[in-house]
Structure 1
Amino acid sequence: MAKRDDPETIGRRVQRLRRERGLTQRQLAEPAYTPAYVSTLEAGRVRPSDEALRHIAERLGVTYEELATGRPARLATDLRLRLTEAQRTLATGEAKEAAEQYARLLAEAEKHELTDLQAEALLGLGECALETGELESGRRFFERSEQVLAEAPLPARVRALRGRAVAHYLAGELRYAVYLFESTLDELNRSGLHDPDALLLLYASVIGPYMDMGAHARAAQAAEFALALAPQAGDPALVARMHRSVARTLLAEGRIAEADASLAKASELYRQLRLRTELANCHWMRGYVCAQNGELERAEEELRIAQSMLSAKRAALYTSQVAVELADVLHRRGKSEEAAELLRKVLGDLSSERGAVHAAAAHRLLGIIAEDARDTEAAEEHYVRALSLLERAGAAGDLADLCRLLGDLLRRTGRVEAALDAYRTGLGHRTAPGTTTLGPAPAQPPL
């Protein structure tokens, strides 16, 4: 039951409603109470019982909840309907329009102290900000959602924690994102809080940061746990996201057909749910699978579909990230000029604080294109920029390959000592992927 207001507030409300209806204190009180009792109640000197409030609410023609809390009848239900509408807008429409809906919902929820709805509205605003690439703003919304749910059990706070971790991940803060994911998983598993949806969301979400850090063994283990948890999960969108994430680990293990099958399951679920951004991400991932498998024409087609879908939704950061992968495919298809033009266009939207791993990939590819054109100076400049971005992000998965490219370039231009330094740096990242930046693995779920 909703928390009641204090006696003085209730007293003033009773008096206002009584006068609006033209009733005397006697008419309001009879037959169960006295006019003196109503007078005392209106003055805020007595805490009315539930029974007394129900009697007075009936005489005034309002609901018990409206009299006790000041909230209009069916307010919570109406706001829930508006929440569903905002969620649908974000899934199938535009993030900016959804953000406006969530903001109006948040104002109403705050006004009436409906904490659950406040938390949901803040989560929605955070997701909208991630979609439009406003990472700092998104992180703050997720933090506020966590604060609203501070007294709630950990599983209730997992979506806000996951949102915050993803904001840090997209900003290039891989180590901290992994720390947030792992510490939350550890707490859930050690304390026996076996919530399949919460665990599945975290395991599916940590795969990306693990892969970028070169921690492939941990990514594979997270995928294994996610697949084991999926049959117990109640949210089909969550299961679809899991299939999309798991495809990355299958690819890393060379299991192309299984990765494609995983993406097919995710795509079908997203189509059924009409989740446009997630479906675009599936085309994106399928393009990546095709590129890895050497099917470049099909890869280009899938990535262009993803880019078009994300661009239509004004998902700026994700659109830029897809463009980098599309440029790689174009370069491999011999369309290097088109690839370079695309990369230069999107680099303005990517930086060390916003899509660091993809910004590094853009510089790496521009370096390769410059090398092909025999412009060693420009190539070196791009490789060094990419190296700086990856080192800051802790993306060991790509650092070793980049060090090899830079080393080869330095060796060809006669700088042998500098080349050896670059190779040594690369070998340092190759030795034990992930172990230099990650502590002990989190406790395992009770499967």
Structure 2
Amino acid sequence: MTEEHPTATIGQRIQHLRHERGLTQRALAEPAYTAAYVSTLEAGRAKPSDAALRHIAERLGVTYDELTTGRPAQLAAELKLALADAQGVLATGDIGDAARRFTDVLNRAEQADLTDIRPAAHLGLGECALEAGRLADAARHFETAEAQLADQPLPRRAAAVRGRAVTHLLAGELRYACYLLESTIDQLNATGLHDPDALLLLYSAVIGPYMDMGAHARAAQAAELALALAPGATDPALVAHLHRSVARTLIAEGRTAEADASLAKAQELYQHLRLACDLAKCHWMRGYVHAQAGDLTGAERELRTARQMLATRQAELFTHQVDVELADVLRRLGRHRDAEHLLTALLDRTGPDLGAVHAAGAHRLLGLLAEEQEGTGTAEEHYVRALSLLERAGAAGDLADLCRLLGDLYRRTGRTELALDVYRTGLGHRAAPGTTTLGPAPAAPPYPAGRAGGSVHR
């Protein structure tokens, strides 16, 4: 018997489909059943057997599942195609259009109770919200996706965990972002669920918060482990993300030529995959590489390309981040007014909880600009604001540098005791380079025998 399906609902569905097809109860029932039996089913007074439902479905020209659930036979396949289309629009087109497509898929999947479609739609909506800078919405969608996948193997939940971690990272909650990624990596390894794609996604994602926290040794270790996983990955986009993440560790070590080569690999893959936002981030990072190498003209060109691509997609938060890098290049080129205008406009558009590390970077640069124009009081104000943002975020590497700048300002203005206090604070953040407050780093994954990992060190 089909007790899991409400009898009255099935009866109404049988009656509706029968009327649509112009069949009498007798025509639907014969030769196996009677018109009276069909009448009792349609009235909801009897529970149909599986055999009866299969007979009726065949007479009505629908599948058994369509009759018992009310879902069109091809709906799941249709929604999977719609998901793929939405993901394609997110990669190459307008974020708002992609969000509308994901929302339509989600609504239809909820109406039809297609539980395997809903998490993917929430993941897509989370990515749309991330790019648009709506961090609260992004967190809600990623948390919902993870909850809907709670009974699935952990590798299937990796994308939702990564999304949640990135949301916390962009909100300035670096330590919690690390915790989410590290604990999931350890759980994956401990349970023996060796899924190269899931592990590669998580190891690549954890490099960013490590770098922002000043944990460069741990970031380099994660990069090496990710490189070792790359040969077993099935998703080329993950490999591209890896090359971009590894470039960050190489830049920190001053190996700009190797970082640029790693970014070139990522850029080639992104162009092939038509991933516009990720391609823009490659231009962004290559701009930073050029700036580190002293090629300020090349840096400005790459950063403006990245900014235009991101602004076209209305990827607001990432555009703000590029603005900070571009303003620094403009300052170094001596175009102080342009840099100050860019930074002031950025801070007018953001709040303290939206991209705290980059808001702090904007205040730091405004402080440097003020000092270069002999505005000591204004410079101090910006440095103090930046320090507050970085302390809350736990961005140790940036904190140490900012403490040096603020301490130097206090010393030059005769406030020696204040300078010493700030220098001590900075030294405290540099006391344990390459570590975090989170305990041991995640364990290495159990690589298959004979697999040799790459290395970012030589």
Would the aligned equivalents of 2:218 and 2:435 in 1 still touch at CA under 8 Å? no
Show CA shifts across 1:8-44 (max 9, x none): 3223211322233333333222223344543454325
Would the aligned equivalents of 1:367 and 1:379 in 2 still touch at CA under 8 Å? yes
SS of the residue 2:349 aligns to: coil
Question: Structure 1 residue 45: deviation in Å?
Answer: 2.7
Q: What are the equivalent positions in structure 2 for 1:1-400 lying under 5 Å apart?
A: 5-42=5-42, 43=44, 45-49=46-50, 51-400=51-400
Would the aligned equivalents of 1:406 and 1:422 in 2 still touch at CA under 8 Å? yes
The size of the alignment, in residue pairs, is 444
Q: What is the CA RMSD across the aligned residues, in angstroms?
A: 1.6
Name the counterpart of 1:413.
Answer: 413
Question: Structure 1 residue 297: deviation in Å?
Answer: 1.1
Give the percent of matched residue pairs that are identical in Structure 1 and Structure 2.
68
SS of the residue 2:176 aligns to: helix
Show CA shifts across 1:384-434 (max 9, x none): 011000000000011111101100000000000000000000000011035
Would the aligned equivalents of 1:350 and 1:356 in 2 still touch at CA under 8 Å? no
Question: Structure 1 residue 4: deviation in Å?
Answer: 6.5
Within 2, Cα distance between the matches of 1:230 and 1:388? 39
Report the residue type matching 1:67 in the other structure: L
Distance verdict in 2 for CA 1:316–1:30, change over 3 Å: same
Would the aligned equivalents of 1:259 and 1:289 in 2 still touch at CA under 8 Å? yes
Question: Structure 1 residue 268: deviation in Å?
Answer: 0.6
Report the residue type matching 1:279 in the other structure: L
Distance verdict in 2 for CA 1:436–1:61, change over 3 Å: closer
Distance verdict in 2 for CA 1:256–1:44, change over 3 Å: farther
Instruction: Name the stretch that deviates more: 385-394 or 14-23.
Output: 14-23
Name the counterpart of 2:454.
Answer: none
Would the aligned equivalents of 1:132 and 1:316 in 2 still touch at CA under 8 Å? yes
Within 1, Cα distance between the matches of 2:116 and 2:246? 31
Show CA shifts across 1:219-256 (max 9, x none): 01111111111111111111111111110011112222
Distance verdict in 2 for CA 1:203–1:44, change over 3 Å: farther
Within 2, Cα distance between the matches of 1:227 and 1:44? 64
Would the aligned equivalents of 1:364 and 1:383 in 2 still touch at CA under 8 Å? yes
Within 2, Cα distance between the matches of 1:308 and 1:47? 62
Show CA shifts across 1:259-290 (max 9, x none): 11111111011111111111000000111111
Report the residue type matching 2:284 in the other structure: W
Within 2, Cα distance between the matches of 1:408 and 1:74? 68
Question: Structure 1 residue 436: deviation in Å?
Answer: 5.0
Instruction: Name the stretch that deviates more: 348-357 or 371-380.
Output: 348-357
Would the aligned equivalents of 1:146 and 1:157 in 2 still touch at CA under 8 Å? yes
Would the aligned equivalents of 2:215 and 2:436 in 1 still touch at CA under 8 Å? no
Report the residue type matching 2:49 in the other structure: P
Name the counterpart of 1:403.
Answer: 403
Structure 1, gaps ≥5 residues long: none
Question: Structure 1 residue 7: deviation in Å?
Answer: 3.5
Would the aligned equivalents of 1:404 and 1:423 in 2 still touch at CA under 8 Å? yes
Show CA shifts across 1:184-203 (max 9, x none): 11111101111111111111
Would the aligned equivalents of 1:307 and 1:323 in 2 still touch at CA under 8 Å? yes
Report the residue type matching 2:279 in the other structure: L
Name the counterpart of 2:452.
Answer: none
Instruction: Name the stretch that deviates more: 329-338 or 106-115.
Output: 329-338
Within 1, Cα distance between the matches of 2:363 and 2:89? 35
Within 2, Cα distance between the matches of 1:227 and 1:6? 53
Would the aligned equivalents of 1:12 and 1:44 in 2 still touch at CA under 8 Å? no
Question: Structure 1 residue 52: deviation in Å?
Answer: 3.3
Within 1, Cα distance between the matches of 2:192 and 2:436? 29
Report the residue type matching 1:402 in the other structure: L
Would the aligned equivalents of 1:213 and 1:433 in 2 still touch at CA under 8 Å? no
Question: Structure 1 residue 58: deviation in Å?
Answer: 1.5
